[in-house]
């Protein structure tokens, strides 16, 4: 613990010195940015918010924050920094909603571009047989949902939480319970407009500048700034049947999940989570889920056992209710959950998709939202999920989980291997998300250090047992680790970097490349 504290203080001191050094050595940087003719504006004073993110663990002050009003504001700024050449230390980070975990959207002593300022550019809907919408890269998914519903359509693939930007999730993948059928969000984009690391504005798609298109999708912000995206849509349902059933045995739970994601599942959303050491009645769910409890289910006692909850959703319109009820009954009868544990709720579509926001409001009111979030997200091959679950839920996370632990499989066939994201080498792999919150300054099992040690133990086990996992929302400190993460795809990733951001000025907070100086 002493070492970690020392390291943290050292990093903070180092970065403070970097900020001072940059200001002293490059006073002309500030004035040169000030003279750029742009529609929006630079802020050199109010920059603290750009040094904050959801992870609440890393904080690097930028030199300036750009609030762009147009794509050309972004292009001019990036080109300006590009033209300074390798002699300048200045870097540029696009900041979406700042919901990164380890400073990925920050630019120490650099320029942060507040992408949400671009939202004013509006959304353009195209309905018809293949509906889509053109949106700004700084648009929040919740806004896209609200606007789409006015046209009777909606995007197909989501994240569990919608107060994230298009550019932010497309730079990772964007995974939720619809991914088994539609793939992640990066599989549901037709076209992008991107500002490269040379300040060029380029349109790209599968047919046009396809290498840039696939580089940027899942590209961790390394190859360009997404200023516009064309998102595929489908007809939107009115309502959702939201179902949870419980298992006491992981193997049975996983078998049912895999059965549901293969072939023609009637469900539109399939996820699951682990319930660790909860006692008493299971009617106190962590989210907005308010089941119309059948009496038996609300009497089910977890009694501290580790349980596995399968979560399903079926979309429907009100005039289809009777048929949908019959279909659900028949599908559920083929599953092997504990029979008395069927929890069911019926909610409007928007309420289902925006469900995590309800938890956010509750947590904010208790001061529990803006706390450190030492999250760990892993992609695990199907053949290794049993051994993973056995060890992690049997030996490491036995007392408490400090937050939700999600676990669900997806089909690799729905992912495009031309994108930059790295996934395991099997037809089916699981997303396992340890979404921990730490109690500030606690030294107990709910404190940051304890959770970080647990995360480390999980990663060490994966390494020793050679599980072939990949981190999602990856975080590494050295290029050696990044090379191991990308494996055989590192060369392509590095080649793409030298093509589109040769000075390595973009998204320095990912710590993959160092700007050449
Ligand atoms: P930021 O944190 O602002 O940026 C992330 C990275 O992308 C940075 O490197 C940044 O420089 C870069 N970037 C941002 N905008 C652009 C752009 N326009 N062009 C190029 N690069 C850009 N993820 C899932 O897949 N599924 C989930 O269900 C899910 N649930 C979540 C729930 C919560 C409560 C939170 C906090 C996060 C969740 N995430 C989930 C993770 C989330 O998708 C990522 O953290 C995402 O990066 C956040 O988007 P953002 O707009 O806040 O991006």
Average pLDDT over every residue of 254-275: 95
* pLDDT given at position 122: 87
* pLDDT given at position 1: 47
Q: What is the ipTM, given to two decimal places?
A: 0.99
214 plus 346 within the same structural domain: no
- Please tell me the distance from the alpha carbon of residue 398 to that of residue 382, in angstroms, as a whole number: 22
Q: Known catalytic residue: 211?
A: no
Categorize the per-residue pLDDT at 27 as very low, low, confident or very high, splitting at 50, 70 and 90. Answer: low
Is 452 exposed, middle or buried, given 0-12, 13-18 or 19+ CB atoms closer than 10 A? middle
Q: Is 104 in the pocket of ligand 1 (CB under 6 A)?
A: yes
Task: Give 97 Cα–ligand 1 centroid separation in angstroms.
Answer: 7
Within a domain: 500: no
The total number of structural domains that make up the chain: 3
- Please tell me the distance from the alpha carbon of residue 427 to that of residue 415, in angstroms, as a whole number: 10
- Please tell me the distance from the alpha carbon of residue 445 to that of residue 448, in angstroms, as a whole number: 8
Q: Find the length of the chain.
A: 517
Instruction: Report the first-to-last Cα separation within the chain, whole angstroms.
Output: 34
Atom 13 (ligand 1): residue with closest C-alpha? 168
Average pLDDT over every residue of 340-369: 94
* pLDDT given at position 399: 80
104 plus 89 within the same structural domain: yes
- Please tell me the distance from the alpha carbon of residue 440 to that of residue 62, in angstroms, as a whole number: 25
The region of weakest confidence among 28-32, 56-60, 328-332 is 28-32
In the predicted model, is pLDDT for residue 87 greater than 80?
Answer: yes
128 plus 6 within the same structural domain: no
In the predicted model, is pLDDT for residue 21 greater than 60?
Answer: no
Name, in order, each residue with C-beta under 8 angstroms of 277's C-beta and a sequence gap of 6 or more: 304, 306, 398, 399, 400
* pLDDT given at position 28: 72
Range of the domain at 354: 239-472
The region of weakest confidence among 62-71, 82-91, 109-118, 192-201 is 82-91
Which domain-ending residue is among 115, 130, 154?
115
- Please tell me the distance from the alpha carbon of residue 20 to that of residue 410, in angstroms, as a whole number: 47
Using CA atoms, how far residue 313 sits from 244, 275, 337, 345, in Å, is 9, 19, 16, 10
Task: Give 268 Cα–ligand 1 centroid separation in angstroms.
Answer: 23
Residue 255 host element (H or E): helix 250-261
Average pLDDT over every residue of 300-325: 91
126 plus 107 within the same structural domain: no
458 plus 315 within the same structural domain: yes
Within a domain: 205: yes
Q: Known catalytic residue: 160?
A: yes
* pLDDT given at position 265: 85
pTM of the model: 0.94
- CA of 104, closest atom in ligand 1: 9
Strand order of the sheet with strand 111-114?
Answer: 41-43, 64-67, 111-114, 92-95
Q: Is 114 in the pocket of ligand 1 (CB under 6 A)?
A: no
For 258, the 3-state DSSP assignment is: helix
Query: To the nearest whole number, what is the mean pLDDT of the chain?
Result: 92
* pLDDT given at position 386: 98
- CA of 138, closest atom in ligand 1: 18
Is 125 exposed, middle or buried, given 0-12, 13-18 or 19+ CB atoms closer than 10 A? middle
- Please tell me the distance from the alpha carbon of residue 231 to that of residue 131, in angstroms, as a whole number: 9
Catalytic residue, chosen from 99, 182, 373, 475, is 99
318 plus 250 within the same structural domain: yes
Task: Give 374 Cα–ligand 1 centroid separation in angstroms.
Answer: 15
Render pLDDT for 204-247 as a digit per residue (tens, 0 to 9).
Answer: 999 999 999 999 999 999 999 999 999 999 999 999 999 999 99
- CA of 140, closest atom in ligand 1: 51
On whether the CB atoms of residues 224 and 197 are closer than 8 A, the answer is yes
269 plus 123 within the same structural domain: no
Within a domain: 485: no
Catalytic residue, chosen from 89, 134, 160, 501, is 160
Residue 396 maps to which CATH number? Answer: 3.40.462.10
392 plus 457 within the same structural domain: yes
For 232, the 3-state DSSP assignment is: strand
* pLDDT given at position 447: 95
To the nearest whole percent, how much of the chain has pLDDT over 70?
Answer: 91
Within a domain: 496: no
* pLDDT given at position 281: 46
Phi, psi angle pair for 363, to nearest 5°: -65, -40
Tokens standing for residue 327: 């279909």
189 plus 270 within the same structural domain: no
Which domain-ending residue is among 67, 82, 115?
115
Looking at residue 1, the DSSP 8-state letter turns out to be -
Render pLDDT for 451-478 as a digit per residue (tens, 0 to 9).
Answer: 999 999 999 999 999 999 999 999 999 9
- Please tell me the distance from the alpha carbon of residue 426 to that of residue 381, in angstroms, as a whole number: 6
Within a domain: 223: yes
Q: Is 102 in the pocket of ligand 1 (CB under 6 A)?
A: no
Categorize the per-residue pLDDT at 15 as very low, low, confident or very high, splitting at 50, 70 and 90. Answer: very low
Q: Is 55 in the pocket of ligand 1 (CB under 6 A)?
A: no
To the nearest whole percent, how much of the chain has pLDDT over 90?
Answer: 83
The region of weakest confidence among 16-20, 408-412, 508-512 is 16-20
Within a domain: 481: no
Residue 445 host element (H or E): none
In DSSP terms, 270 is beta-bridged to 312
- CA of 373, closest atom in ligand 1: 36
Atom 34 (ligand 1): residue with closest C-alpha? 161
317 plus 442 within the same structural domain: yes
Within a domain: 513: no
* pLDDT given at position 436: 95
Q: Known catalytic residue: 463?
A: no
Burial letters 456-485, b for 16+ CB under 10 A, else e: eebeebbeeeebbbbbbbbbbeeeeebbeb
Most confident of 4-18, 249-263, 290-304: 249-263
251 plus 175 within the same structural domain: no
* pLDDT given at position 150: 96
Render pLDDT for 141-169 as a digit per residue (tens, 0 to 9).
Answer: 999 999 999 999 999 999 999 999 999 99
79 plus 6 within the same structural domain: yes
């Amino acid at each position: 613990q002493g070492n970690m504290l020392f390291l943290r203080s050292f990093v903070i001191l180092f970065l403070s010195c970097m900020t001072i050094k940059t200001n002293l050595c490059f006073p002309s940087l500030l004035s040169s940015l000030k003279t750029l003719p742009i529609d929006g504006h630079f802020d050199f004073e109010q920059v603290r918010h750009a040094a904050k993110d959801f992870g609440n663990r890393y904080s690097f002050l930028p030199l300036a924050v750009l609030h762009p009003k147009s794509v050309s504001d972004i292009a001019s700024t990036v080109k300006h920094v590009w033209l300074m050449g390798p002699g300048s230390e200045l870097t540029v980070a696009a900041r979406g909603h700042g919901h990164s975990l380890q400073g990925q959207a920050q630019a120490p002593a650099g320029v942060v571009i507040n992408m949400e300022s671009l939202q004013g550019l509006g959304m353009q809907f195209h309905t018809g047989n293949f509906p889509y919408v053109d949106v700004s890269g700084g648009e929040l998914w919740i806004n896209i949902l609200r606007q789409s519903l006015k046209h009777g359509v909606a995007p197909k693939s989501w994240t569990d939480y919608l107060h994230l930007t298009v550019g932010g999730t497309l730079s990772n993948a964007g995974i939720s319970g619809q991914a088994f059928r539609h793939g992640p969000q990066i599989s549901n984009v037709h076209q992008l407009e991107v500002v490269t690391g040379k300040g060029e504005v380029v349109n790209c798609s599968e047919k046009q500048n396809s290498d840039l298109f696939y580089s940027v999708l899942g590209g961790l912000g390394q190859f360009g700034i997404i200023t516009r995206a064309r998102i595929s849509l489908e007809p939107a349902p009115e309502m959702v049947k939201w179902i949870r059933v419980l298992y006491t045995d992981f193997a049975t739970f996983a078998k049912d999940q895999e059965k549901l994601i293969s072939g023609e599942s009637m469900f539109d959303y399939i996820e699951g989570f682990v319930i660790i050491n909860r006692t008493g009645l299971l009617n106190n769910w962590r989210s907005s889920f308010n089941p119309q409890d059948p009496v038996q289910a609300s009497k089910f006692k977890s009694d501290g056992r580790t349980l596995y909850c399968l979560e399903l959703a079926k979309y429907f319109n009100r005039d289809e209710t009777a048929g949908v009820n019959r279909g659900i009954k028949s599908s559920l009868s083929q599953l092997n959950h504990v029979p008395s544990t069927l929890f069911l709720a019926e909610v409007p579509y928007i309420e289902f998709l925006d469900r995590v926001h309800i938890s956010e409001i509750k947590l904010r009111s208790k001061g529990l939202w803006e706390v450190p979030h030492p999250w760990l997200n892993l992609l695990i091959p199907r053949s290794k999920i049993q051994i993973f679950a056995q060890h992690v839920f049997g030996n490491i996370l036995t007392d408490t989980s400090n937050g939700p632990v999600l676990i669900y499989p997806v089909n690799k066939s729905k992912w495009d291997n031309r994108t930059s994201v790295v996934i395991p080498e099997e037809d089916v792999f699981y997303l396992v998300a340890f979404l921990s919150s730490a109690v500030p300054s606690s030294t107990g099992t709910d404190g940051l250090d304890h959770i970080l040690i647990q995360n480390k133990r999980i990663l060490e086990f994966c390494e020793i047992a050679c599980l072939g996992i990949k981190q999602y929302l990856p975080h590494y400190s050295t290029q050696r680790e990044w090379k191991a993460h990308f494996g055989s795809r590192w060369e392509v990733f590095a080649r793409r970097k030298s093509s589109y951001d040769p000075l390595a000025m973009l998204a320095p907070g990912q710590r993959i490349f160092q700007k050449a100086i």
